[in-house]
């Protein structure tokens, strides 16, 4: 019987794994992976817009009050009589009246009205009763039902000289969508004046009296602006956090009910491929505010755990003990799975030696020996 080369591992008292405090900063610096919590991300792009989203309203064209005004006082007067006084006696213009038009009209002014404004007053009163006043190419005015005279009205472009009476205009819009223009004009009492909406060519066709047409043109001129030139844009790099997570945190702050509509008008878009955030703001001051908060939150880390902020790699060189044992121990402490490889508990023999197994049954002792 030969001596055993090894003894069962369970009979040996293994020394506990010794954890020696080292300088993790020095090890991290060797790999150049220390999170730079002090460095702010770069501003990759920043363009400030005009902040203007509407043109200045144009001055209303019309009559200027003069000392020689006219007091108008028609209460439930016959239409023929009102037309005779205003068109015939005061304005001295030729006109015709369709046979199917009649009834009464009320037209009263509290102050003297200049003669140049009388036609607008008359046209507004006629329009309320479904009657149109149009001026032909020969200068003769025609008074008739709106549905009957529309087919005889020549179509003019937006830039055409303003004419008296009912007119039809084709209005091409440059920046404002005709669908949005329809939504804007409808609440202003112009729903029936919208004859055609052409989204393909972005053209709007309006048919209205002179006062209403002027009001529609002024409204469209104010809102048909380049919105993108008024917006401010910026792209900001995120260094210490995940850009998507940072956007979620900022949107929660900006989406609060206590903040006004200006905050909700600011949009944040994550650019994952460069870990950056694009900000679209209605004005430059708001762009500056949001960009400053991005840099502040990125520097302080928002108090977010490392697994939320994004995984980072660290390497620690074990000087005392086995790295596998230390990994398993840390996995048990912090709830991780540790390492997949487990240390062997079976003994090993030195080169050139063999293994011997001893067994005892009753009074007989037998031995088996194997050699390599």
CATH number at residue 114: 3.55.50.30
Does 275 fall in a domain? yes
Does 157 fall in a domain? yes
**pLDDT reading at 184 higher than 60:** yes
Nearest to 190 by CA among 211, 174, 161: 211
Nearest to 181 by CA among 125, 224, 235, 233: 224
What is the dihedral angle through the alpha carbons of 167, 172, 176, 182, rounded to the nearest 10 degrees?
Answer: 40
Of 28-32, 103-107, 169-173, 174-178, which gets the smallest average pLDDT? Answer: 28-32
Sheet harboring 194-198: ordered strands across? 155-157, 167-172, 203-208, 194-198
Domain count, the chain: 3
pTM: 0.51
- Average pLDDT value for residue range 31-39: 44
From 163, 190, 224, give the residue that closes a domain. 224
- Average pLDDT value for residue range 103-129: 82
Distance CA 300, CA 37 (A): 7
Of 6-15, 55-64, 153-162, 293-302, which gets the smallest average pLDDT? Answer: 6-15
Burial of 287 (0-12, 13-18, 19+ CB in 10 A): buried
Same domain, 240 and 321: yes
**pLDDT reading at 305 higher than 50:** no
Does 1 fall in a domain? no
Domain of 77, in residue numbers: 69-146
Find the helix packing angle between 178-185 and 210-223, rounded to 10°: 130
Distance CA 324, CA 318 (A): 10
**pLDDT reading at 169 higher than 80:** yes
Of 15-19, 202-206, 311-315, which gets the smallest average pLDDT? Answer: 15-19
Does 355 fall in a domain? no
Same domain, 215 and 236: no
From 129, 146, 163, give the residue that closes a domain. 146
From 109, 127, 146, give the residue that closes a domain. 146
Same domain, 253 and 317: yes
Does 6 fall in a domain? no
Burial of 260 (0-12, 13-18, 19+ CB in 10 A): exposed
Same domain, 42 and 116: no
Does 259 fall in a domain? yes
CATH code of the domain covering residue 220: 3.30.1370.120
* Number of C-beta neighbours around residue 218 at 10 A: 16
* Number of C-beta neighbours around residue 154 at 10 A: 11
- Average pLDDT value for residue range 109-131: 82
- Average pLDDT value for residue range 260-264: 53
How does 155-165 read in b/e, with b if 16+ C-beta sit within 10 Å? Answer: eeeeeeeeebb
């Amino acid at each position: 019987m030969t001596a055993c080369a090894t003894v069962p591992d369970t009979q040996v008292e293994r020394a506990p794994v010794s954890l020696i405090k080292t300088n993790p900063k020095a090890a991290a610096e060797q790999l150049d992976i220390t999170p730079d919590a002090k460095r702010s991300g770069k501003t990759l792009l920043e363009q400030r817009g005009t902040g203007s989203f509407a043109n200045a309203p144009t001055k209303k064209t019309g009559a200027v009050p003069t000392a020689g005004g006219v007091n108008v006082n028609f209460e439930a007067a016959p239409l023929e009589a009102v037309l005779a006084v205003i068109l015939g006696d005061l304005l001295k213009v030729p006109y015709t009246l369709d046979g199917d038009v009649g009834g009464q009209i009320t037209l009263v002014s509290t102050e003297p009205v200049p003669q140049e404004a009388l036609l607008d007053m008359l046209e507004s009163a006629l329009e309320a009763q479904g009657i149109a006043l149009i001026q032909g190419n020969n200068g003769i005015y025609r008074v008739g039902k709106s549905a009957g005279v529309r087919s005889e009205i020549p179509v003019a472009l937006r830039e055409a000289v303003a004419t008296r009476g009912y007119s039809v205009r084709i209005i091409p819009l440059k920046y404002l969508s005709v669908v949005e223009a329809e939504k804007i004009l409808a609440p202003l009492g112009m729903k029936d004046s919208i004859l055609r909406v052409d989204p393909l060519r972005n053209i709007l066709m309006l048919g209205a009296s002179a006062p209403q047409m002027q009001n529609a043109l002024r409204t469209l001129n104010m809102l048909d602006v380049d919105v993108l030139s008024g917006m401010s844009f910026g792209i900001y790099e995120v260094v210490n956090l995940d850009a998507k997570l940072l956007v979620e945190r900022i949107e929660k702050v900006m989406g609060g009910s206590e903040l006004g509509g200006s905050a909700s008008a600011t949009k944040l878009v994550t650019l994952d491929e460069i870990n950056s955030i694009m900000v679209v703001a209605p004005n430059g001051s708001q762009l500056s505010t949001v960009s400053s908060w991005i840099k502040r939150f990125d520097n302080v880390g928002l108090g977010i755990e490392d697994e939320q902020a994004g995984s980072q790699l660290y390497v620690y060189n074990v000087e005392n003990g086995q790295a596998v044992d230390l990994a398993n121990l840390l996995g048990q402490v912090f709830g991780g799975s540790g390492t997949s490889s487990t240390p062997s508990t079976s003994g090993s023999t030195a080169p050139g030696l063999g293994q011997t197994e001893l067994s005892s049954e009753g009074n007989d002792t037998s031995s088996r020996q194997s050699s390599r």
